Every structure is written in structure tokens, then in C-alpha cells.
Amino acid sequence: MTTPPGMTDADFADGLGAMRSAVGADWVFDQPADLNTYRDFYSVLWGEPEEKRASAAVAPANVEEVQQVVRIANERQIPIYPISTGRNLGYGGSAPVLSGSVVLDLKRMNRILEVNESNCSCLVEPGVSYFDMYRHLQETGSKLWIDCPDPGWGSLVGNALDSGGGYTAAGYRGHWEAVCGIESVMADGEVLRTGMGALPGSETWQQYRMGLGPCLDGLFRQSSLGVVTKMGFYMFPQPEAYLTGSIDVFRYEDLEELVDLLNELEYGNLFNGMPGIGSPVLSQDNPIAMTMIPPADEMNRMVQETGLAAWRASFTFYGPEKVIRAQWEHVKERHAHFQGVKFNEGDFITLPLSAEDMERIAKPRFGVPSLEIFFVGSRGFGNFNPSDGHIWFSAVIPRSGKGIIEANRVMRRECERLGLDLFMFAPAVTCWTRSFVLFAAVPVYKDPAKNQHLRESVREIIDICAQHGWGEYRCPPAFMDDVMDAYSFGDHKLRRVNEQIKDALDPNGILSAGRYGVWPKHLRDGRGA
Amino acid sequence: MISRRDVIKWGAVAPAIAAGSQAAFAQAPQGLDAFMLDTRYVDSLPTEHAGIPAICFAGDVTKPWFDTLDPAWRQRGYVLGGITGSDALFVLQSLAQQQGRRVVSQTQLGEKDERGVYPVSWVIAPVHPSVTA
Ligand SMILES: Cc1cc2nc3c(=O)[nH]c(=O)nc-3n(C[C@H](O)[C@H](O)[C@H](O)COP(=O)(O)OP(=O)(O)OC[C@H]3O[C@@H](n4cnc5c(N)ncnc54)[C@H](O)[C@@H]3O)c2cc1C
């Protein structure tokens, strides 16, 4: 049996015994077959002594049981690591950041506490998955949509806490941006409600996010400061219709203006769906992996030879047909001056979805959870085998044409130099408001030598990105310290303030130790080693 | 492709395999409650075998899981056998674990393709006391 670092077997057994009394013996797991399910199947340390493994898992059924478990852990200084549905594949799965932690598995807390049709919001427990919410909305005939990530098996809470993203309208698809109201069990076992939830009897918890004073929601994003037991979300009222269109331009030099225009139109609310910038000519071999952007004359020659566009801006509109058709007309007008421009009208779909449409659409764009992403490989997009695994490398880059070109070239050049495979490469993902996030899926292996090379290469890439001012928005546990190191302004003031907050709110350092590079005092020097 | 005969043969042997050392499976005396058949690997499908319904799908487990398995896995019992791609099993296995179930036997039935995916037969059975029959 793995024990938490620095604990004797006897003390740990005593702690687990107390947790059994709190949640019931059936809900404390310490046998190898059970603990296997809490491994990160996509770990870059798979099978190595440093692999991040849980010592046990505990699954409480309600807030009171969470409080008891946290108090037991705090009294005995047992590190615990809360997860909601634990599907964080590509960013750590359900394994803890500090090996030997007890995973606090909140899957049994799966009640949808409220869906408020007039307020267009919901309040949920952490174990509620996107599928659970979708089923509920279907069964109740709701007019509301959720926004889900590609795999719908994760949870609204866990995904938002890691700052995940989806594919519908602005304000909803950056999942943290749609959060309104948090309840968290703190390290001392007490319960905090943020925003208007702090005011007993308020009916505005899922309306006015800020409440009074500093907005404390941020304490819980990518953090190690609490066990979130309830979370509110704004929900998107189902629109009447959906329309997509794309605009092709044919010169390397057009990119800068294309992005500026996209920004102006989005920030001016001329479209509300997820935009995209791609390159048909550089994605002709693999639609999910843009190749290196060549020099201007070479790219322009490729365009002439193939007839494919140099760049494509894509737009998505949700709303009444009359409105979204007018918006698309306006967007086209604004692009009419580009030399040789081509307009492609895509899907127009009235909502709710017909059974026929449901079969052919990209479901997450319609708030419909799916697991289809795990089978895209079998449809010929890349060589994706879900059981091999991959990690996501996702760096925030400037939202400009220059930003795309520079990030694409640096990443492509450095990955090639380092021999780092990428099976998906998209330089300008727009789930998060006003941002481009460069996404690369890096295959992970079950072979330690290959993974060592991968880890060293990714660390180098993190450094190189930092030198350009690009930082990851999220990352797997093996790289959390490296990524936090890159946010180094003011002699690492960001990390140091986070550590001060950690010490104040969790003096025994029991919660999610090491998450995003913030270690409790007693583990700080060795960073958990 | 795996033939109809192989599917039926597998259906016949699966309960025997499980009756050996798999305590969880032994708790389901009638054997399997359903088969899952991945049409990427199994041709000429039986819609049922010995009264056991077959759930057919083509790689993507979303619909069969959402419509049939998720509701069934919220109840006690329900032993599921399948012949699917290893990619589909990976996803099903992960879903099953969340609902107190585990893969209690699996056998590779063919070569890996260029993505490393191969056909596999398996049994998923309830193991957690909250869902065992
Ligand atoms: C093929 C593929 C495609 C993907 N596509 C997307 C995508 O489109 N968008 C996207 O965002 N992600 C994507 N992912 C990543 C990931 O699968 C999802 O983000 C998933 O939703 C995260 O898992 P979860 O919701 O179960 O969160 P969890 O694993 O439960 O939580 C994530 C982390 O948040 C913290 N946490 C969770 N719950 C609590 C709590 N209650 N209290 C305190 N801390 C908590 C923990 O540190 C935990 O490790 C993809 C992964 C794969 C493999």
C-alpha cells in the first residue's frame, strides 16, 4: 500500500478508518484493483516510480461527509485531492498531483439542485456530468443548453475548475466564464459560499456573480484551496437557429487584417458563435494539423498551384434566422475588399435539432454531449487511438496574425528539432473570450524511455514559449511547476502570493498539494519530491 | 471480420469463463444481460443470442451507452459481454468504472491496425456492493 509522504502505515490506517466511519466502508477504496482506476491513463510518467498515484480514494455522498473527511485529513495531515468526475485525460486524469494523496472522489454527489428556466442558470453538485445534465434537460423539456467539451463524460464543475472550454456561444464556451456562485468546503472543514450565496435567503446567487468585496471565485480556479461542493452556471437559452459561414482569402499577407477584422466583429457582438482561423493550403494533408507556415512567396506559390485558400476565417451565429442571416451578410460585406475573396455559406439549421440533423452535426456545437471524439481516428482524422493517450499542450498566444505566424513557426520548428510528435496542431483555438490558444496534442507512450524524451522536450518547449511571452493556460501535473515558473514577473510574485494564500487558508497543506505549482509550506522546497 | 459463428461461440463460452474465478460474474446466474457488437469488426449480426439482446454500434459508444447502458448501470446487476474495437472498450471501461463495474475478462481477437486498435471480446460486470445483484 502507498502511504502519503511522511506518514506511518499505522497513522494512515487510522485515518482511513476514521474516513470509513464518516462515509461508510464501501466508499473507501484502498485495494490495488480499485486504485488502478485512479491512475492517469495518459500519464507521461506511466509505470515509473515517479508516476503520480493515489494511496486511497474516498467517495462521500454529501457536503456533511465532505466536511468530516476534510476535518479528519486536517487533524492527521493527510493530503487529499478532490476530483469531480476525474476524466481529465490529457491534463492528469483522476490522479493526484502529489503521489500518496487520498483522492476525494465526488462522483456520488451528482444532484442537479436547480435548473432555473427564467434565469437561464443551474446549480449543480460536482458529480453531475454533461450527460446527466443533458438527460435532465431533455426529460424536463427545458429550453436551455449546456456548453460541453468534446468528451461529454466529464463534469460541469471539474471541467470549469480546470478552466476547460466548449464550442457554443461567447460567455458560455469558456466554462469558467459561465460560473456564477461557488460553495466550497475549506481546509478547516467550514463551508464558504461566494458571491450572493454569502447572503442568507438571497435569490440572486446565480445572477450577480461578484457579491461584495474581492471576488473570491478565483480562489478555486486551478487551485488547491477548497473542495467545491456546489457550483452555479449561466446557461444558454436555446436559439432559434444556427448558421455557419467561412471566408477564404488567398494571400499570405491577408492574415493580419483577417484577424483584426474577426476581433472587431466579435468584440462588437456581430457574431456570437465560436470563430476560427485556419489555412486550407497548409492543412490539405491533415485537417487537424496545420503544417509550418512557409515564407510569404512560397505560401503564395502553393496557393496558386493548388487553388486552395491561404487563410480561412470561419464564423458561427446563433439566433433568430432573420438576425443571423443579416449578421452573416454584414460579415461578408466587411470582407468584400480582400483580393479574390470567396464566401462559403455553411450549415443553416433550425432548432431544436431534428433527428436527421442530430446524426450529422458536430454535437458539442449544439450543447449535445458526445464521446464521438474518441472515434474520430476511425473516420480518418489523424491517427488517434484513445487508449494510447496524449497530453494537451495549450499556450495562450497573441490574438493577431503575427501571433499565429510566429507561434506556428516556433512550435513547428522546435517540435521538429526535438523530435516531438504532434497528431493535432491548431494555432488559434477560440474557446476562451478574446484569446487564441495554440493547441497541440502530443502522443504519450507506455514506454519510459520515450516518455522521458517527451518530458524533456515539453519542458524545453515550455521555456521557449515563455521566452516569447506565451504561457500555458492549463497543463498536466508533470509540468505544473515548469509552467508556473514561466509566470515569473516580479521574482515569481504570482507564485509567492499564491503560497501566502495557501498558507493562510490551508496551513497544514492538506488540499490538492502541488496543483498548478503551489505547494504547501512543508513540501515547498522539494516540490513534493 | 469475426464471423457470426465466432460471435455465437464466444457467447457460449463467456459465461463459462466468468464462472471460473470471477465472483462478480458468478452472481449473474443467467450469464450475460446483453451483448455489445461493434459492426466495424462483426459481420452478419445476430440481433439476439439465446434470448440475450445484442446492441449494435459502429465504434462510437455514445448512443448505446446513453440510451441503454447508463440507465442499466444505475441499477443493480447487468452483466455485459462484447466484441468491439479496443478503442470502444477503452471508453466503455472508463464509463463502467464510474458506475461500480469493471472489465472482468478480455481476449484480443485479432491484429492491431495502423492506429493500434484491435478487436477484443470482453465481459463487464458489477463489482461494487452498491451495484452487485
Ligand atoms: C480526446 C479528448 C478531447 C478533449 N476535449 C476537451 C475539450 O474540448 N475541452 C476541455 O475543456 N477539455 C477537453 N479534454 C480534457 C478533459 O477530458 C476534460 O476537460 C474533462 O471534462 C475534465 O475532466 P472532469 O470534468 O472529469 O474534471 P475532473 O477530472 O473531475 O477535475 C479536473 C481537476 O479539477 C480539480 N477539481 C475537480 N473537482 C474539484 C472539486 N470539486 N473541488 C476542488 N477541485 C476539483 C482537480 O484538481 C481535478 O484534477 C479532452 C480530453 C480528451 C482525451
Summary mean pLDDT of chain B: 80
A490 dihedral zone (left: phi>0; alpha: psi -120 to 50; beta)? left
CA of B123: how far to CAs of A33, B78, B100, B104, B105, in Å? 16, 11, 14, 6, 5
Burial B73-102 (b: 16+ CB within 10 A, else e): beeeebbbbbbbbbbbbbbbbbbbbbbbbb
Which CATH architecture does the domain made up of A9-105 adopt?
Answer: 2-Layer Sandwich (3.30)
Q: In what order do the strands lie in the sheet with A28-29?
A: A28-29, A56-58, A102-105, A80-83
Q: With 80 as the cut, is the pLDDT of residue B1 above it?
A: no
Provide the 8-state DSSP code for A101.
P
| C-alpha closest to that of A194 among A181, A207, A203 | A181
Superfamily of domain A242-347: FAD-linked oxidases, C-terminal domain (3.40.462.10)
Pocket of ligand 1 from Cβ distances under 6 Å? A 82-92, 94, 106, 126, 149-151, 154-155, 157-159, 161-162, 164-165, 227-228, 373, 512, 515
- Please tell me the predicted confidence (pLDDT) of residue A263: 98
- Please tell me the predicted confidence (pLDDT) of residue A389: 87
Give the DSSP per-residue string, A336-397. Answer: TTSTT-EEEEEEEEESSPPHHHHHHS-GGGGT--B-GGGGGGGGTSTT--TTT-EEEEEEEE
- Please tell me the predicted confidence (pLDDT) of residue B41: 87
The set of residues, in sequence order, having a beta carbon less than 8 Å from that of A180 and lying 6+ positions away, is: A121, A195, A205, A206, A207, A208, A209, A232, A233, A234
Superfamily of domain A390-476: FAD-linked oxidases, C-terminal domain (3.40.462.10)
Contact A385 B130 (CB under 8 A): no
- Please tell me the predicted confidence (pLDDT) of residue A63: 98
Q: What is the CATH number of domain A112-237?
A: 3.30.465.10
Q: For helices A321-335 and A255-267, give the axis angle rounded to 10 degrees.
A: 150
Query: How far apart are the C-alpha atoms of B100 and A301, rounded to whole Å?
Result: 58
CB A108 within 8 Å of CB A29: no
The set of residues, in sequence order, having a beta carbon less than 8 Å from that of B108 and lying 6+ positions away, is: B86, B118, B119, B120
Instruction: Tell me if A242-347 shares its fold with A390-476.
Output: yes
Residue B27's pLDDT band (cuts 50, 70, 90): very low
B60 at interface of A, judged by CB pairs closer than 8 A: yes
User: Cell for A258?
Assistant: 483577417
- Please tell me the predicted confidence (pLDDT) of residue B26: 38
Q: Each residue of A279-325: pLDDT tens digit? A: 999 999 988 899 999 999 999 999 999 999 999 999 999 999 999 99
- Residue A234 is among the residues annotated as catalytic for this protein: no
Query: How far apart are the C-alpha atoms of A248 and A279, rounded to whole Å?
Result: 9
Query: How far apart are the C-alpha atoms of B85 and A93, rounded to whole Å?
Result: 22
| C-alpha closest to that of A146 among A350, A365, A359 | A365
> How long, in residues, is chain A?
529
Q: With 80 as the cut, is the pLDDT of residue B44 above it?
A: no
pLDDT-flagged residues of chain A (< 70): 1, 376-384
Residue B20's pLDDT band (cuts 50, 70, 90): very low
Q: What is the CATH number of domain A486-523?
A: 1.10.45.10
For cell 477584422, the residue is A261
Among A66, A88, A378, A472, which residue has the most ligand 1 atoms within 8 Å of its CB, making it the best to mutate?
A88
Query: How far apart are the C-alpha atoms of A133 and A279, rounded to whole Å?
Result: 36
Q: What angle do CA A242, A243, A247 make, to 5 degrees?
A: 155
Whether the complex's predicted ipTM surpasses the cut of 0.85: yes
The set of residues, in sequence order, having a beta carbon less than 8 Å from that of B107 and lying 6+ positions away, is: B120, B121, B122
A135 at interface of B, judged by CB pairs closer than 8 A: yes
- Please tell me the predicted confidence (pLDDT) of residue A501: 98
Please state whether the peptide bond connecting residue A352 to the residue before it is cis, i.e. omega within 30 degrees of 0.
yes
- Please tell me the predicted confidence (pLDDT) of residue A427: 86
Greatest C-alpha distance within chain A: 75
A474 at interface of B, judged by CB pairs closer than 8 A: no
User: Cell for B34?
Assistant: 446483453
Residue B22's pLDDT band (cuts 50, 70, 90): very low
CA of A388 to the centre of ligand 1 (A): 18
A77 dihedral zone (left: phi>0; alpha: psi -120 to 50; beta)? left
Q: With 50 as the cut, is the pLDDT of residue B17 above it?
A: no
Task: Find the helix or strand (DSSP H, E) in which B31 lies.
Answer: none
User: Cell for A159?
Assistant: 471541467
CB A369 within 8 Å of CB A148: yes
- Mean pLDDT of the B41-68 span: 84
CB A290 within 8 Å of CB A303: no
- Mean pLDDT of the B1-6 span: 54
User: End-to-end distance of chain B based on CA atoms, in angstroms?
Assistant: 34
- Helix extents (H) in B1-133: 4-21, 23-26, 62-64, 70-73, 86-98
- Please tell me the predicted confidence (pLDDT) of residue A212: 97
Burial B11-21 (b: 16+ CB within 10 A, else e): beebbebbeee
- Residue A473 is among the residues annotated as catalytic for this protein: yes
| C-alpha closest to that of A172 among A144, A197, A195 | A144
Provide the 8-state DSSP code for A239.
P
Residue B25's pLDDT band (cuts 50, 70, 90): very low
Q: For helices A401-418 and A448-467, give the axis angle rounded to 10 degrees.
A: 150
Residue B19's pLDDT band (cuts 50, 70, 90): very low
Interface of A with B in 376-415 (CB under 8 A): 377-378, 383-388
Give the DSSP per-residue string, A157-203. Answer: HHHHHTT-B-SSSTTTSBGGGGEEEEEEE-TTS-EEE-GGGGSTT-S
- Mean pLDDT of the B47-57 span: 80
* Residue ranges of domains in chain A: 9-105, 112-237, 242-347, 390-476, 486-523
User: Cell for A94?
Assistant: 483522476
Query: How far apart are the C-alpha atoms of A51 and A53, rounded to whole Å?
Result: 6
From A33, A135, A374, residue closest to B91, measured CB to CB = A374
